[in-house]
Amino acid sequence: MLLKVRDLRVTFRLDKRTTFEAVKGISFDVPRNSTVALVGESGSGKSVSSLAVMGLLAPGTTIIDPAGSIEFDGRELLTMSGAERRRMCGKDVSMIFQEPMSSLNPVFSVGFQIGEVLRQHMGMNARQARARTLELLAEVGIPDPAQKIDAFPSQMSGGQQQRVMIAMAIACEPKLLIADEPTTALDVTIQKQITELISALQKKHQMSVLFITHDLGLVGEIADRVIVMRHGEVREEGGAAQVFARPADPYTRALLDCRPRIDQRPLRLPVIDDYLSGRVTLDAAQPQRSRGYLDTDAPVLVVNKLSKSFFVREGLFGKREFKAVSDVSFTLPRGKTLGVVGESGSGKTTVGLTLLRLHKATGGTAMFEGRDLISMPEREYRAYKRRIQIIFQNPYASLNPRFTVGQILLEPMRIHQIGANDGERTKMAMQLLDKVGLPAQAFHRYPHEFSGGQRQRVAIARCLTMKPEILVCDESVSALDVSVQAQVLNLLQDLQDEYGMSYIFISHDLSVVKYMADQVMVMHQGRVVELANSDELYRNPVHPYTRTLLGAIPAAAGGARA
């Protein structure tokens, strides 16, 4: 056995008097030459456990119970000196972190950063390190390694940054690779490429992989064994095939079934608490929600040949045009949802931002109640601003950290003169908090005091203060745990049913889009390559790019193709 963890307990010291036990005596093994998946929601303790193995937990605020044990390759890690631990964890154990852009140094080239690992742990000189770095970049599938070796992280896509992190992690040919949420928020095709790359490298180098994720659907693509964690405890452990076919613990069954499937569309998605309380199970016989545009649907927005170009300076006086969106046309009926899918760089977010005039369009029209939103003067457009709102991908970045939730909700109502006075506005804000499932006490709290799912609910409540008719959801559930994701999707559907709002739902998660969208628009390199009703597009995709996207959906826990 390569890694043995026994009775691991990790406690965080929150202040002088308060502590929190994040990991509660867990035990698990990672065999040699195998892949073990550690699965659970945020707060389950899976990442803390991996950081304990790496020795990356802050010693001043973290307490690891000395009665526990972390044994790697026959050596006890918890009793090692700091220097010994660093040498081992740099060479024999390595880690891929969740967010490559925050893990890579933005002021150094990727070649320098990979080379630094080789110089530090392998004793290579600069020339040897550069030659080995080129080999590693080619091995992880970076195009044109001779050019990319001198590129900075900001000059690479998210998928390429993650490949650089993988190259850095395997540089010393470690015996154990820990991958902490390496595909979260990546496009479905890039996600598949990264999981296939890790699997191929595992077989080639005969190393072990500890793969950490909250997405059980992804685990079936890569893992030999699965360990399911919740609230710092192991709830279930077994072979991947066994766990997927016959999950023994209700929590495991809930994780599998809370994720939207492409072969079912229940009226409401179940959440974790529904399963653990025994209130619901996912049954194919339960009522299904029908989707699709009808000929009788009244359009609320008609977009024709929308285009957006960015211009990059070249030389002293020249500039080069980059067409981010070209001739995009679609219709959005009242009370319906248009799903927009495509890889990063396809232009789907640019479409949403251009419609809201956060980008200035370079062509086309967007007719809303007979008026063109694109060409109307700014003074006239102010009256339309509150009727078209957007939920951004990262609620923490879009919520002012210095404002309480109450201030966040009251500010747009004051600007647009909604409500007669602050007393009336406060009453409306309290009603909205209740509508999105947050307690009244949230009114006086700050964004950092909430979880990701709760912050997204605050962002939705802020949009609702405007009583919008069109809501652009830009990757609004992409990084949420499956249960929180189900709660937010149910909330959006309830609001649409109650208020008749129209959604432009932008996402790279094709299972979520299938659940939410009446019609799906597929974008590639700034253009629409396919547009059809949801069920028809998933059942009979016409364009090869659409078939590629659908083929990248993880089969496990996602259901058969519709």
Complete DSSP assignment for 374-405? TTS-HHHHHHHHTTEEEE-S-HHHHS-TTS-H
Q: What are the φ and ψ backbone dihedral angles of 108, each rounded to 5 degrees?
A: -115, 145
Identify the helix (H) or strand (E) that includes residue 462: helix 452-464
Torsion of CA 401, 403, 405, 408, to 10 degrees: -110
Q: What is the pLDDT of residue 109?
A: 94
Q: What is the pLDDT of residue 479?
A: 67
Taking the C-alpha atoms of residue 554 and residue 188, their distance in angstroms, rounded to an integer, is: 9
Q: Which residues of 501-511 are buried (b: 16+ CB within 10 A; e: fewer)?
A: bbbbbbbbbbb
Taking the C-alpha atoms of residue 151 and residue 132, their distance in angstroms, rounded to an integer, is: 16
Taking the C-alpha atoms of residue 381 and residue 317, their distance in angstroms, rounded to an integer, is: 34
Q: For 383-431, what is each residue's pLDDT tens digit? A: 888 899 998 877 777 899 999 999 999 999 998 888 889 999 999 999 9
Given a contact cutoff of 8 angstroms between Cβ atoms, the answer to whether 366 and 355 are in contact is yes
Taking the C-alpha atoms of residue 214 and residue 73, their distance in angstroms, rounded to an integer, is: 27
CA distances from 252 to 50, 192, 198, 340 (A): 21, 23, 24, 31
Given a contact cutoff of 8 angstroms between Cβ atoms, the answer to whether 172 and 90 are in contact is yes
**In DSSP terms, which residues pair with 322 in a beta bridge?**
310
Q: What are the φ and ψ backbone dihedral angles of 459, each rounded to 5 degrees?
A: -60, -40
Taking the C-alpha atoms of residue 377 and residue 46, their distance in angstroms, rounded to an integer, is: 52
The structure tokens 């990319």 sit at 148
Given a contact cutoff of 8 angstroms between Cβ atoms, the answer to whether 516 and 490 are in contact is no
In the numeric block, which tokens belong to residue 228?
């399911």
Helices (H), 140-215: 145-148, 158-170, 188-205
The DSSP string of 339-369 is EEE--TTSSHHHHHHHHTTSS--SEEEEEET
Taking the C-alpha atoms of residue 253 and residue 281, their distance in angstroms, rounded to an integer, is: 9
Query: Tens digit of pLDDT per residue, the chain (562 long)?
Result: 999 999 999 999 888 888 899 999 999 999 999 999 999 887 789 989 999 999 988 887 888 999 999 999 999 999 998 888 888 887 899 999 877 777 899 999 999 999 999 998 889 999 999 999 999 999 888 888 998 999 998 888 777 888 899 999 999 989 999 998 887 767 777 788 888 889 999 999 999 999 998 877 778 778 999 999 999 999 999 999 898 888 898 888 888 878 888 888 888 888 888 777 776 655 546 788 899 999 899 999 999 999 999 887 777 777 888 899 999 999 999 999 999 998 877 889 899 999 999 999 999 999 998 899 999 999 899 888 889 999 887 777 789 999 999 999 999 999 888 888 999 999 999 998 988 888 899 999 998 888 767 888 898 889 889 889 999 998 888 767 787 788 889 988 988 998 899 999 998 888 899 999 999 999 998 999 999 999 999 999 999 999 988 888 776 544 433 3
Residue 60: DSSP 8-state: T
Pairing of strands 299-314, 363-368: antiparallel
∠214-217-222 over CA atoms, to 5°? 90
Instruction: Give 466-497 as a 3 state SS string.
Output: CCCCEEEEECCCCCCCHHHHHHHHHHHHHHHH
The DSSP string of 243-312 is HHHS--SHHHHHHHHHS--SS--BSS---HHHHHTTS----TTS-B------TTPPEEEEEEEEEEEEEE
Q: For 358-391, what is each residue's pLDDT tens digit? A: 999 999 999 998 899 999 999 899 888 889 999 8
In the numeric block, which tokens belong to residue 526?
């700034």
In the numeric block, which tokens belong to residue 376?
């109307």
- Please tell me the chain's helix, strand, coil percentages from 3-state DSSP, rounded to the nearest 5: 40, 25, 35
Q: Boundaries of CATH 3.40.50.300 in the chain?
A: 1-81+180-189+206-249
In the numeric block, which tokens belong to residue 223?
């893992």
Architecture of domain 1-81+180-189+206-249: 3-Layer(aba) Sandwich (3.40)
In the numeric block, which tokens belong to residue 501?
């709002």
The structure tokens 């299904």 sit at 288
Taking the C-alpha atoms of residue 446 and residue 455, their distance in angstroms, rounded to an integer, is: 10
Residue 327: DSSP 8-state: E
The DSSP string of 90-115 is HHTEEEE-S-HHHHS-TTS-HHHHHH
Identify the helix (H) or strand (E) that includes residue 318: strand 318-333
Q: For 269-279, what is each residue's pLDDT tens digit? A: 888 887 777 76
